[in-house]
Structure 1
Amino acid sequence: MANFSINIAISQENVTTLKQQGFKLFGFKAVNVSVQGGSSVIWFETNQYLASTDVKSEEKYQAYISQDTQISPQTPIQESNSADIELGQRMTISTTGSLNVTKDRPTNAVSVVADTWVSWTTGLNQLVDGVPKPLCAVPILSGFLDQFVPIKKVLLMLATRPFVSGTVIVQAFSPGILIDLTGVGSRKISFDIGIGWGSTEQT
């Protein structure tokens, strides 16, 4: 499993100002999904940033289910159950919400099928700073298959919004920076209150 790191440089003066005004760092992770009706969710949010901050992630995934079947903007999705899963595996949801993971194809995707007459919300979690957190929320109907293909792109932004990890977001709420981690293990970026986001590398 590959590991990834994004280093964020902010001057100490800017860090002090941002924290005094209640700014948090928000992260989103790209995922291709096979069905419509879903949404990205906040991957992580934190106010624990410094002059040099590393956001570390791993290609370790979980598939989750939720009984929150209304995927509404600015609403957090509460997970009901989850299971560790790898690319090339399938998770089957039982009537009671128990989860069974087996091998599947294609090898670059995670598949989820609801083998019940119950509708759920499902999605992927990915490890960030050692904790599995959600990337997206997608409806799944009985007997249908959802597939998820993680994309190695991360969106970061700073904002004062009170949102938490797992909150459905359909439109950016602050200027941000899209970081492409395809083919690399790390990127270095910067933020300045007067200038905005920038990078010393290709992003």
Structure 2
Amino acid sequence: MATFNTTVNISPDDVKILKAEGYSLYGFKSVAASGDGSPTVWFHLPAEKLLTSTKITWQEQFQAYNSTSTVAPQVVIEASNTINTDLGELVTIEKGSGNIESTSDGYPGAVSFLNNDTQRFTVGINQLVNGKSNILCAFPILGAGSARVITPITKIALIFSTEKIETATVITKAMSAGAFIDLTGTDSRTVDYAINDGWSAKGGNWLKNFNAFTDLKKLLIENTSSREKALSERSK
């Protein structure tokens, strides 16, 4: 099970200011999928837990969920069912009950979903971060054999904000300026944050700054489509 981490370095003076003004650190995770899905708050570090060197650690340990929550801004996704799964597995929503099961019939490198029920659901994946398995995305899925294929990507977004937002909340616009960090080809990154200068990585082109109100759906969700069509056809 691969483990990844990102360390955020902040000066002692800036940590004091962030804590005094109630800034929390919010994290989001990137995926590849098709359809009108949205990122959700993956993790939240409250102001009192900020350090001069704050380390975020996550593993390739996944769960899948289905939900009747609507995918809309500021909605907290509440899972109806959650199940352990892994990359390459197929999560099937059973007809009549809406329960889910995971089998080894999916696409490599992705968590696939197949909805055999006659009800529309919201589906997505959880990933273990800082010791907790939290929802990181939400996608609508129609019934009668519709499919979703969600591929986790080793890219994260970090945002400091004074807003109070729960994990699993759908967020489509950045609450404040943030950093988009690419861990492709590595398992660790170190970044710097200063309250007046923002995010930096000593010139590393794997960090991209983004502004408040940036469209997080465009930033974090890479579009794919052919796999879902093939999966739906395969189930018929």
TM-score computed with the length of structure 2 as normaliser: 0.82
Could you tell me the percent identity over the aligned residues?
A: 38
Structure 1 residue aligned with 2:169: 167
Partners of 2:78 and 2:87 lie apart in 1 by: 24
The 5 A counterparts of 1:28-107 are 28-34=28-34, 36-47=35-46, 48-68=49-69, 70-94=70-94, 95-107=96-108
Structure 1 residue aligned with 2:192: 190
Superposition RMSD in Å = 1.1
Structure 1 residue aligned with 2:5: 5
Partners of 2:50 and 2:20 lie apart in 1 by: 13
Displacement after TM superposition at 1:202 (Å): 4.3
Structure 2 residue aligned with 1:108: 109
Displacement after TM superposition at 1:96 (Å): 2.0
The letter for the 2-side match of 1:154 is I
Structure 2 residue aligned with 1:176: 178
Displacement after TM superposition at 1:77 (Å): 0.9
SS of equivalent residue, structure 1 residue 16: helix
Displacement after TM superposition at 1:97 (Å): 2.9
Partners of 1:93 and 1:157 lie apart in 2 by: 34
Unaligned runs of 5+ in 1: none
SS of equivalent residue, structure 2 residue 73: coil
Q: Is the contact made by 2:125 and 2:137 (CA closer than 8 Å) also made in structure 1?
A: yes
Q: Is the contact made by 2:98 and 2:117 (CA closer than 8 Å) also made in structure 1?
A: no
SS of equivalent residue, structure 1 residue 18: helix
Displacement after TM superposition at 1:81 (Å): 1.2
Write out per-residue CA displacement over residues 18-58 of structure 1, whole angstroms, 9 at most, x where no aligned residue. Answer: 11111000000001113x22111111111122111100000
How many residues end up aligned between the 2 structures? Answer: 201
Partners of 1:138 and 1:125 lie apart in 2 by: 13
TM-score computed with the length of structure 1 as normaliser: 0.95
Partners of 1:178 and 1:38 lie apart in 2 by: 19
SS of equivalent residue, structure 1 residue 169: coil
SS of equivalent residue, structure 2 residue 79: coil
Structure 2 residue aligned with 1:149: 151
SS of equivalent residue, structure 2 residue 16: helix
SS of equivalent residue, structure 1 residue 168: coil
Structure 2 residue aligned with 1:158: 160
Write out per-residue CA displacement over residues 138-186 of structure 1, whole angstroms, 9 at most, x where no aligned residue. Answer: 0111110110011110000100111111111111111111111111010
SS of equivalent residue, structure 2 residue 179: strand
Kindly indicate which of the two structures has a greater share of residues assigned to strand. 1
Displacement after TM superposition at 1:105 (Å): 3.5
